[in-house]
Structures are given as C-alpha cells and as structure tokens.
C-alpha cells in the first residue's frame, strides 16, 4: 500500500534537476503546495534545459529558495528529492545524519514521502518505500516492491512480484516483467524491456530500447536486441 501526503501538506523539494517539472505536476494534482526549494549544488544548464527559476513560474505561488547549508526541516512539511542523480544517496545520508528521520507528520526530523501521480495505477498489494516517486501513467503490479527513493517515470510498467532496489530509476515507457529482481542503483532506460524471472545486478544500466532476455551482472551496461554487455561500469 502507499499513502500520498494529505492535500494541503507543505512540500519541500531538495535538489533540482530536469525532473522538477514532473514533481510540480504531481504536487499540483495532489493539492500539495510547494513551499521550499533547497539547492545542494550549482545548477547545470544545457542547450535545451529550462532553469529551475523558470520552472518556478509554473507554480501558483513562488516557493522560498534556500541553500542546503541554510536548510532545516519544519514541522509538518513533507520532503521529496528533486533529482535522480546517481549520488543522491550520499545527499540523503548527509541530511539524515544532520536531522534524523521523522516517521510521522509534525515530529522532529526529515520526512521523505512517497508521491504517486493520480493517473498512475498501483496495486493495493504493492509496497512502496520512503521517497518513491511514481509519475503519470505508470502501472505497478500486485506484490511488487519498490525500495526507498526509486524513481518510476511516465508510462512505466512493473509486473507482479517484482522487486526494485533502492535508488533505481525506471525511465519513460520501459516495461519490467513479473518475478524480476532488480538491484540497487539500477537504471532501466527509455522504452527498454526486461522479460520475467530475470535478475538485474546492482549498479547496472539497461540502455534505451534494449530487450533483456538473460540475467544482467552487477555494474555493467547492456544494450541492443537482444541485450548484451557493452562495458563494465
């Protein structure tokens, strides 16, 4: 089961990236006001990247923007990560070390919450960890288990009885079958498919459009149809 924060719960977004618009979209759909944006490092802008400041204009009210050094949790706030960068686990570990973890709204400590877009379909028998984000149109099957801070992008399907390790990223339109074990820190690329009963080792990357029909070792890049190991990571 999963529970979104109650409508009206103030939301703090920690770290920014191109996924900020997706966070805002989900927050607005759930009735969660975005109150604070916490910057942990300088923003990297590419040719077609929209800056976080431009994205703030999407919101009905401008949130407070502050540096990580000036941040402290406020009573009642819910927190989400605004980045899927590979080293976000170190950021969360730093924050928990400073503030501890809050399990209940209003108690002291950092409260990372799970956000599920209203258009996603989550089985009542699925289990979602702390800080999971499920984007629009995703489908999570019965008895699936998503570890902490897993990011599920638009239109992803996760089959029954599949386990996805913490910090993993499932990119738009990928299909993950049933009875699969995905390790921590895995990325499954856009439009890729992983057939049922397989293991994808921790830290590995499945390239966009790949068709995985055999187990994937740890910390490798696989690509192609059928997918094959291209390099060690």
* Burial (0-12, 13-18, 19+ Cβ within 10 Å), 55: middle
Gyration radius of the chain over CA positions: 17
Question: Is 160 a catalytic site residue?
Answer: yes
- Among 2, 117, 149, 160, the active-site one is 160
Q: Are strands 139-140 and 121-122 parallel, antiparallel or unpaired?
A: parallel
Tokens 């976000």 sit at which residue? 88
User: Which residue's entry shows tokens 């291209």?
Assistant: 230
For the chain, helix (H) and strand (E) counts, in that order, are: 3, 23
CB 52 within 8 Å of CB 20:
yes
Q: Are 123 and 106 in contact (CB under 8 A)?
A: no
Q: How many other C-beta atoms can be found within 10 angstroms of the C-beta atom of residue 160?
A: 17
Catalytic residue annotation: 160
């Amino acid at each position: 089961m999963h529970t979104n924060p109650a409508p009206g719960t103030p939301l703090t977004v920690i770290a920014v990236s191109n996924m900020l618009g997706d966070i805002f979209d989900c927050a607005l759909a759930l009735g969660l006001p975005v109150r604070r944006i916490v910057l942990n490092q300088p923003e990297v802008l590419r040719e077609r990247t929209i800056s976080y400041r431009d994205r703030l204009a999407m919101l009905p009210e401008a949130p407070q923007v502050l540096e990580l050094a000036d941040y402290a949790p406020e009573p009642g706030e819910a927190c989400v990560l605004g980045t899927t960068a590979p080293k976000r686990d170190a950021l969360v570990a730093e924050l928990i070390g400073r503030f501890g973890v809050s399990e209940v709204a209003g108690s002291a400590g950092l409260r990372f919450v799970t956000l599920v877009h209203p258009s996603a379909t989550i089985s009542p028998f699925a289990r979602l960890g702390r800080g999971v984000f499920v984007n629009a149109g995703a489908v999570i099957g019965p008895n699936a288990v998503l570890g902490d801070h897993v990011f599920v992008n638009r239109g992803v399907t996760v089959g029954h009885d599949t386990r996805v390790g913490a910090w993993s990223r499932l990119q738009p339109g990928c299909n993950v079958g049933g009875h699969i074990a995905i390790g921590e820190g895995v990325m499954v690329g856009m439009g890729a498919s992983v057939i049922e009963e397989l293991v994808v080792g921790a830290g590995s990357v499945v390239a966009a459009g790949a068709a995985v029909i055999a187990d994937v070792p740890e910390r490798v890049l696989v690509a192609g149809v059928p997918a094959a190991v291209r390099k060690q990571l």
